[in-house]
Amino acid sequence: MRYVKDWRFLPLNKYSGYENMAIDEFMVHYYENNRIPVLRLYLWESPTISVGKYQDVIKEINIDKCSEEDVYIIRRMTGGGAIFHNSELTYSLVCSESDIKSDKSTVKETYERLNEFLLEMYRLLGLSPNFAKNLKKKNLGLRSPFCFSDCEEYDIIIKNKKIGGNAQFRKKNIIFQHGSIPFEINTEKIKKYFNCKINKNNFITLSELLKKEINVNEIEKVFLKAFKKVLKANLKEQNLLSSEKNKIDKLVLKKYGSDEWNLKGEKIESNS
């Protein structure tokens, strides 16, 4: 019999940056308590820059320009460089190695296993993706304050350029991962928000690859088809419950809506 795992699916919705990060953390607590893997798709209400957990915001982000133009700055619970979120589809998931049939696998092996569904999604769109490690990319592992300007082993490369970015948080045997699938990025417009160089020649977007305006619902369907096929997942759609929203609101108030976390990166304990 083919192995199939039931996943809770939080359907596509649009939230503020603060809420998006709080929901992502809530998913980890949810898995701890219920041992049910979760997939979520989401959009952003306003242009937002998410920074990695350990980034120096004051050094690497033009805070004044962001404030002047209502670009929000939020800090993720995952590492890596900054991402400008606006025209994109974002996903997050939480599971364990056993949920994806990767028991006794190394961290790198589970990361590759999880990212295989993204390769399949791009293939279904008629593209030819590959992992950076398979293409012998130069400067592999060299970090940049702007996520799309650097390249890690399991970043996805199409036409010799990186598309999107993914990052993980791990807690005991729990794997949390989220990632960005960019539709379009106006590099000239957004570079004023960063105090670092943005290497446009290193990354590409879906609209550039498909040479058309992107319909988010079409990409959502392809994403879910690839996810179910590769990870053998049975998605059971369920919106957030009122009690869960209350816990998420508390995370926003206590952590993700605070300057202590977003600008300074100071540790704020959360119980949801």
Tokens matching residue 4 = 């199939």
Residue 90, SS3? strand
pLDDT value, residue 107: 81
- Residue 205 CA, chain-centre distance (Å), reads 15
Residues of the chain with pLDDT under 70: 1-2, 104, 136-145, 150, 269-272
State how beta strands 72-75 and 48-51 pair: parallel
Q: What does the alpha-carbon distance between residue 11 and residue 25 come to, in Å, rounded to a whole number? A: 17
pLDDT of residue 227: 98
Residue with tokens 């992107």: 214
Per-residue confidence (pLDDT) for residue 2, from 0 to 100:
59
Task: For residue 158, count CB atoms less than 10 angstroms from its CB and return exposed for 0-12, middle for 13-18, buried for 19 or more.
Answer: buried
pLDDT of residue 26: 98
156-158/130-131 β-pairing? antiparallel
Instruction: For each of the domains in the chain, give its residue range(s) and CATH number, in order of start.
Output: 5-260 (3.30.930.10)
Confidence (pLDDT) at 154: 84
- How much is the pLDDT for 1? 39
* Residue 172 confidence (pLDDT): 85
